[in-house]
Structure 1
Amino acid sequence: MRERPFDPWAELAARTRAHRTDLGAAAVFVGTMRDRNEGETVESMFLEHYPGMTERELERAARAALERWGAAEALVLHRVGEVRPGETLVLVAVWAAHRAHAFAACRELMETVKHRVPLWKRERTASGERWVERNTPGEIAAREAPAEPPGEA
């Protein structure tokens, strides 16, 4: 969990996998805060988490996605605290031998972060503050995911 803005590309560069010649693919998702939600301009957002529990859930989600899709390594960084439009909210990266496995594991991990990891969002708009009660549905991602994990086809 990160309380300050971070550069996702610098984070990735710091974690080069050049020593892992068995890994032929990396899939990366970078989520950025939008300035509009539910038809209103959002000035900022405050993200709260349950320290300890949130990190454990992120680790559990990463292990599950890696195991399910036969990927090797994952990185998840998520902002907490005050976030402004244009700032990075989340970085999910997965390294695997093949691109299909990297993409599928990255997608699954991001959807799990979005919908199951204990994070709470409160938006500030010109009309006041409001809690974000639901996240963007992941049905599109689920439809586009490979039908079978490696070795199950």
Structure 2
Amino acid sequence: MPASIRIQREDFDVAVETAALTQGRPDVGAVVAFTGFCRDEDGRLSALELEHYPGMAEAELARIVSDAEARWPLCGVTIIHRFGAIRPGEQIVLVLTAASHRRAAFEAAEFLMDYLKTRAPFWKREHLADGRIGAWVEAAAKDDDAAARWERP
């Protein structure tokens, strides 16, 4: 089953996406779902603005998924990443991994999220609760460290 990769403005339904990934698939023994949400950063944010480079972002996500599929015996993958203004409490990203066994599903989901945080071409800008537009968010060193553990010698 080819991976489903979507970058969209609209929200998503985790249950609907999980059903689509597993329907008619008796080989699926485990699905791991990661849903990322926008935080309010202790009341400081009113929204997080996400931008991407169309075409380039989808191609990079496809490369990341291809790498995961080469590492683990996956039955399917779904990645949905939203763009636009995302308010605190709203969903930003969904990663679903399906496999015959749980370990592959768990590890692949973690790998995909680590690489989404570091390699996917998305830019985030904070919109502050006081009405000001904040800075573009810099990549966090902890995200680079998390992704580095997956590098092969």
Distance 1:42 1:82 in 2: 11
Determine helix, strand or coil for the equivalent of 2:10: coil
- 2:28 equivalent among 23, 26, 33: 23
Determine helix, strand or coil for the equivalent of 2:127: strand
Determine helix, strand or coil for the equivalent of 2:117: helix
Shift of 1:22: 1.5
Scaled by the length of structure 2, the TM-score of the pair is 0.83
- Which amino acid is 2:37 matched to? T
Gaps of 5+ in 1: 146-153
Matched residue, 1:148: none
> Is 1:75 equivalent to 2:78 in the alignment?
yes
- Which amino acid is 1:7 matched to? D
Shift of 1:135: 3.7
- Which amino acid is 1:33 matched to? C
Do the aligned residues in 1 keep the contact of 2:27 with 2:75 (CA within 8 Å)?
no
Shift of 1:142: 7.4
> Is 1:107 equivalent to 2:113 in the alignment?
no
Shift of 1:16: 4.4
Determine helix, strand or coil for the equivalent of 2:142: coil
Residue identity over aligned pairs, in percent, reads: 40
Relative to structure 1, the CA distance from residue 10 to residue 23 in structure 2 (aligned partners, 3 Å threshold; closer, same or farther) is closer
> Is 1:134 equivalent to 2:136 in the alignment?
no
Gaps of 5+ in 2: 1-6
Do the aligned residues in 2 keep the contact of 1:7 with 1:88 (CA within 8 Å)?
no
Matched residue, 1:6: 12
Shift of 1:45: 1.0
* 1:85-110 alpha-carbon deviations (Å, 9 max, x no partner): 01100000001111000000111011
Determine helix, strand or coil for the equivalent of 1:72: strand
Matched residue, 2:4: none
- Between Structure 1 and Structure 2, how many residues are aligned? 142
- Which amino acid is 1:78 matched to? H
Do the aligned residues in 2 keep the contact of 1:8 with 1:88 (CA within 8 Å)?
no
- Which amino acid is 1:8 matched to? V
CA RMSD between the two structures: 2.3
